[in-house]
Structure 1
């Protein structure tokens, strides 16, 4: 089961400039602010800026992360339905797991287990 699209992560090359721009857009200060990730809570959604998204993770644009109860079970169901695992589940802090799969058209689907 999915609890909806809860998180969107944007790859950025200049975190300082991106933080200024998105801060102006949201009219808010970040809820998480580290050299590796800046996050905002906006209108019930988490919006992240990832300075390693392009180079280290191969992100070509924003990725929406669908919140799921059991990330491994959901990945198995998606693979059975034709998806391919792009990034295996990994802990991004506090026990929160993220992973990505791609569909037959190379669209990236993000999964997040709180």
Structure 2
């Protein structure tokens, strides 16, 4: 399996406050919705995700087959933090954790 990390999702409790800080740092967002604020940083996605539980930012690896990548990581000892869910017409995501509880995000079809 070969994966490329192309995005970082940052959970926030106050979207407006976080948006002010990240807009000052990264410029205007390309997507500004109550459920998601996204910035393109030289082709890398930095996103603010309101209402998510803490635990810090999650780097998402793009994979061809989400289910196969998930199964491979679970067999290797990862645990599931959030089950696969549809986030766009062509994209699903899930979050696993390594043995120390560090999040591993997967994004694919």
- Which residue is 2:30 aligned to? 31
Divergent runs of 4+, >2 A: none
The Cα RMSD (Å) is 1.2
Q: TM-score, normalised by structure 2?
A: 0.93
Report the count of equivalent residues.
Answer: 109
1:7 aligns with 2:2: no
Partners of 1:68 and 1:104 lie apart in 2 by: 21
Partners of 2:7 and 2:84 lie apart in 1 by: 16
Partners of 2:84 and 2:36 lie apart in 1 by: 18
Partners of 1:53 and 1:7 lie apart in 2 by: 16
- Which residue is 1:51 aligned to? 50
Partners of 1:18 and 1:86 lie apart in 2 by: 24
Task: Show structure 2 runs of 5+ residues with no match.
Answer: none
Q: Tell me the secondary structure at the aligned position of residue 48 of structure 1.
A: strand
Q: TM-score, normalised by structure 1?
A: 0.89
Q: Tell me the secondary structure at the aligned position of residue 92 of structure 1.
A: strand
